[in-house]
């Protein structure tokens, strides 16, 4: 039996649901145990043998850290984070892959940091290293520096709840999705913008993604378009869970915006297929232009070293302009796509063929 994760608005509802679940499972002969919560009142309503920590003194002890589906959950501060254990893996391609796989990060809180290691892995693959061949030179130095800084990820914490205020009923909710691409990779990140009834605004990290650029060279505009497809898919999954209708998509690529808003030109197959998928899920007026310097998805496409990630963590907090009124957001000014663009499909004209005429000529010749 796997864990059940449930978030409720009030202590009363949490207590009621916990006891109802215990009764329901008991009817089927199942003994529901290992309860934990960030609320002491909820825990105190349950007998000690039902709790994950039976010996915990709820009146004196601090609430501990728990692992929830592989993610560290600090019950006392109600924050999610990482517990990084130092691993003595060999400095080989096998060791690089093994170390990368030990970082379990389903929502991609530290995706920019992980891209740095993924780029090293891809470079080893490009240079045709064997699995157990010892790393050397510059690539060895870069890998060892990344490994040494990995323990600092223990300092990364993300509030479990999107809302910092309990009185959030009547708030305006919007999902803002950002995408970007570079020669190294492409990625996306989504935030929940919360405008409270009292006028205050905050931005909460929802999820992100970061992927290596293909080994086969792809143009930057095509990678930017692939990043746009990635963010559309991610947003579709997010809104199935959050049920929020006010959505915006941001990219720093004017070419991609021209592709998406185009209504007349035909494009090459690679572009046209991806535009069709974007149009199927989103409306053109949902897309906006974000200057590259303000785009947090830039971190997912280029990668960020751990010290820089901790120092200026816009990846988790979102761009500053989302905290301001909409009138102060970047303005989208579309430019016409040049007719010389490689991706525009050229019409091929052929002379008209009359099959009956050709048939008559063949008969007369015989």
Nearest to 298 by CA among 250, 258, 248: 250
Residue 351 has pLDDT above 50, yes or no: no
pLDDT of 278-294, one tens digit each?
A: 999 999 999 999 999 99
pLDDT of 197-226, one tens digit each?
A: 888 999 999 999 999 999 888 899 999 999
The CA-CA-CA angle for residues 18, 20, 22, to 5°, reads: 70
Q: Give how far Cα 237 sits from Cα of 76, 240, 281, Å.
A: 30, 5, 11
Q: Distance (Å, rounded) from C-alpha 303 to C-alpha 319?
A: 17
Q: Which strand ranges, in their side-by-side order, compose the sheet holding 287-289?
A: 201-212, 185-195, 172-181, 247-251, 287-289
Q: Give how far Cα 359 sits from Cα of 92, 122, 351, 366, Å.
A: 70, 59, 17, 11
What percent of the chain has a predicted confidence (pLDDT) above 90? Answer: 60
pLDDT at 350: 44
User: Higher-confidence residue: 117 or 7?
Assistant: 117
Report the CATH number of the 167-328 domain: 3.10.20.370
Residue 360 has pLDDT above 80, yes or no: no
Mean per-residue pLDDT for 291-304? 95
Residue 353 has pLDDT above 60, yes or no: no
The two tokens of residue 199 are 């006028």
Give the SS3 label for residue 58.
Answer: coil
Residue 363 has pLDDT above 80, yes or no: no
Q: Give how far Cα 6 sits from Cα of 9, 36, 318, Å.
A: 10, 11, 26
pLDDT band at 64 (very low <50, low <70, confident <90, very high): confident
Q: Distance (Å, rounded) from C-alpha 198 to C-alpha 168?
A: 10
The CA-CA-CA angle for residues 358, 359, 361, to 5°, reads: 65
The CA-CA-CA angle for residues 326, 329, 330, to 5°, reads: 150
pLDDT at 237: 93
Residue 325 has pLDDT above 70, yes or no: yes
How many other CB atoms sit within 10 Å of the CB of residue 286? 17
The two tokens of residue 169 are 């009923």
pLDDT at 82: 83
Report which secondary-structure segment, H or E, holds 300.
Answer: helix 298-302
pLDDT at 312: 78
**Alpha carbon 304 to its chain's center:** 15
pLDDT of 98-112, one tens digit each?
A: 999 888 888 999 999
pLDDT at 338: 56
Q: How does strand 172-181 pair with strand 157-159?
A: unpaired
pLDDT of 155-203, one tens digit each?
A: 899 999 998 887 778 889 999 999 999 999 999 999 999 999 888 999 9
pLDDT of 28-62, one tens digit each?
A: 999 989 999 999 999 999 999 999 888 888 888 88
Sign of CA dihedral 162, 165, 167, 171: negative
Nearest to 185 by CA among 146, 219, 150, 211: 211
Average pLDDT, the chain: 88
Q: Distance (Å, rounded) from C-alpha 246 to C-alpha 175?
A: 6
Residue 340 has pLDDT above 70, yes or no: no
pLDDT of 133-159, one tens digit each?
A: 999 999 999 999 999 998 888 889 999
């Amino acid at each position: 039996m796997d864990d059940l994760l449930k978030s409720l608005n009030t202590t009363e509802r949490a207590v009621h649901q916990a006891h109802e679940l215990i009764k329901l499972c008991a009817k089927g002969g199942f003994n529901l145990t290992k309860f934990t919560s960030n609320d002491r009142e909820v825990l105190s309503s349950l007998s000690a043998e039902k709790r994950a920590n039976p010996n915990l003194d709820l009146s004196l002890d601090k609430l501990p850290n728990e692992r929830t589906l592989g993610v560290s959950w600090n019950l006392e501060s109600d924050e999610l984070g990482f517990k990084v254990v130092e691993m003595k893996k060999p400095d080989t391609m096998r060791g690089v892959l093994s170390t990368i796989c030990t970082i379990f990060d389903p929502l991609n809180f530290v995706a920019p940091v992980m891209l740095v290691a993924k780029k090293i892995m891809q470079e080893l693959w490009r240079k045709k290293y064997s699995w157990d061949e010892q790393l050397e030179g510059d690539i060895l130095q870069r890998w060892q520096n990344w490994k040494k800084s990995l323990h600092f990820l223990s300092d990364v914490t993300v509030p479990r709840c999107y809302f910092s205020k309990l009185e959030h009923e009547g708030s305006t909710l919007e999902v803002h999705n950002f995408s970007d691409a570079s020669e190294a990779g492409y990625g996306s990140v989504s935030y929940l913008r919360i405008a409270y009834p009292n006028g205050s605004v905050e931005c909460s990290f929802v999820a992100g993604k970061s992927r290596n650029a293909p080994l086969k060279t792809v143009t930057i505009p095509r990678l930017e378009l692939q990043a746009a497809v990635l963010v559309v898919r991610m947003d579709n999954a997010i809104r199935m869970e959050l049920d929020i209708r006010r959505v915006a998509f941001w990219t720093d690529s004017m070419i991609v915006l021209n592709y998406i808003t185009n209504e007349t030109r035909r494009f090459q197959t690679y572009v046209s297929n991806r535009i069709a998928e974007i149009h199927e899920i989103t409306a053109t007026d949902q897309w906006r232009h974000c200057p590259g310097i303000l785009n947090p998805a830039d971190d997912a496409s280029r990668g960020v070293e751990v010290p820089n990630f901790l120092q200026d963590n816009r990846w988790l907090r979102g761009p500053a302009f989302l905290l301001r009124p909409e009138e102060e957001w970047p303005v989208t000014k579309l430019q016409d796509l040049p007719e010389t663009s490689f991706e525009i499909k050229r019409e091929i004209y052929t002379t008209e063929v009359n099959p009956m005429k050709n048939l008559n000529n063949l008969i007369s010749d015989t």
